[in-house]
Homo-oligomer: A and B are copies of this chain.
Amino acid sequence: MTRLWDKGAPLDARVLEFTAGEDHRLDERLVAYDVRASIAHAEMLEKQGLLAAPELRSIRAALTALAAEHAAGAWHIELAEEDGQTALERRLITRIGAAGERIHLGRSRNDQVLAALRLYLRDAVAELRAGALAVAAALDALAAREPGTPLPGYTHMQQAMPSSVPLWAAGFAAEIRDDGEGLAAVLRRIDKSPLGSAAGYGTPGLDIDREATRVRLGFTSVQHPVTAVQLSRGKAEAQLLFEITLLLQDSARLAADVLLFATREFGFVTPGEAFTTGSSIMPQKRNPDVFELIRARSATALGCLVEALALCAKLPSGYQRDLQLLKAPLFRGIDLGLATLAILPPALASLEFHAEAIRLDPDTRAAEEANRLAVAEGIPFREAYRRVAAKLRK
């Protein structure tokens, strides 16, 4: 943080700092996607006779090279370039001259950045889903590893009925797989091609082919009408953050169980030492920090979701600069989702259950007893319930 504002920096530097903000860093992950979308756009222009074949070849080669160099760390977007789109076009022009000045025909930064973002989000969704499935698989493995380990089934944090480690793990696995499906469902909003909507009002005076870019980039449909494109900003983003929040809330509940079961008083489970840390003053402590931080990250996800929704709220239609700020909570949410999903499988694999320490209160059989009594004697359930309750009170 340069904190230009309190150092008498020149005005234009302060305005640049305020408006560009951290965009140059955030846009780093979009460069490769911008290149793909830009090449598709250029190919469409050539097909429509708006770009000559040699120019297309030159653009394609230069963009491909720029992408490769960027991936190799040879260049980064600079603050002075404001954003990734400007950086790419500037470097393209530097490299190939006038041909580079032709690429922005028939598009605006508004549809350009959205195309790159949606291509990125498709990959992010795939990665998040794979992460969710890996967590579910780790829960399956845990269940398989502890086939006979009992566990009290709790309601209201009180022992209620008999359960088991496999049944406990299977419940979480099912919900985390459900979260994976929820993530996949976000693709409905992502998978629409914005290209050709330009600033939100199309490209008058130009004969472009929106279907051509859609096909090249593998989008499911072209987003119609052009005015819908900017109105839709923030909705796919918010839905992805919403699904990440559900996923991280499920992970947090899993972590809350582990933290409870790992107390000295429960003594059901011990997290692997690699997933704990020590204390700065208590020589005896091993703290289950990893599971605490998994619990905590659900709060960060909620913050990201609220920020994304609030950014779009009440804005008049048409592109507004406010929408640029969506990237920060979006990327933060994706990153914390991926990080949490990545640490969970080894953390779950490290759990050591202590079957011998897990004791079920005999009363947890009371519901079963009432069930059996009702069936055996043909009496109403309520009567069986009262009889079992009376017996227990003695």
**A375 adjacent to B264 (CB under 8 Å):** no
Neighbouring B residues of A156 by C-beta, 8 Å: 285, 287-289, 292, 318-321
Q: Residues of B contacting A285 with CB < 8 Å?
A: 155-156, 158, 160
* Contact status of A297 and B325, CB under 8 A, knowing A157-B262, A204-B162: yes
Using C-beta atoms within 8 Å of the partner chain, give the interface range for chain A: 35 or more
Which residues of A, 295-351, contact B by the 8 Å Cβ criterion? 295-300, 302-322, 324-325, 328-329, 335, 338-340, 342-343, 346
Q: How far is the CB of A66 from chain B (nearest CB, A)?
A: 18
B315:A329 contact, CB within 8 angstroms:
no
* Cβ of A287 to closest chain B Cβ, rounded Å: 4
- B205, A375: Cβ atoms closer than 8 Å: yes
Docked-complex contact B287 and A346, CB < 8 angstroms: no
Contact status B293-A19, CB under 8 Å: yes
**A65, B102: Cα distance in complex, Å:** 57
Interface status of A354 (Cβ within 8 A of chain B): no
A380/B263 contact (C-beta < 8 A), A204-B371, A338-B5, A385-B283 known: no
**Per-residue CB proximity of A187-213 to B under 8 Å, as 1/0?**
011000000001111111110000000
Question: In this assembly, does A81 line the interface, its C-beta being within 8 Å of a C-beta of chain B?
Answer: no
A310 to B385, CA, bound (A): 35
**Majority secondary structure of chain A interface residues (helix, strand, loop or mixed):** helix
Residues B286 and A298 in contact, CB atoms below 8 Å apart: no
Q: With a CB–CB cut-off of 8 A, which chain B residues contact A91? A: none
B residues less than 8 Å from A264 (CB atoms): 152, 158-159, 361
**CB interface residues, A 193-240, toward B, < 8 Å:** 198-206, 223-228, 230-232, 235, 238-239
- In contact, A256 and B153 (Cβ under 8 angstroms): no
Residues of B within 8 A of A306 (CB): 302-303, 306-307
> Shortest CB–CB separation between residue A327 and chain B, in angstroms?
12
* Cβ-neighbour of A288 out of B5, B157, B329 (below 8 A): B157
- From residue A392, how far is it (CB to closest CB) to chain B in Å? 5
In chain B, what residue has the closest Cβ to A241? B242
Interface centre among A282, A339, A364 (most CB of B within 10 A): A282
Once the chains are docked, how many angstroms separate the CA of A309 from the CA of B162?
A: 29
A293, B325: Cβ atoms closer than 8 Å: yes
Q: A167 contacts which chain B residues (CB < 8 A)?
A: 201, 225-227
Of chain B, the residue at the smallest CB distance from A166 is: B225
Please give the distance in Å from A62's CB to the nearest CB on chain B: 14
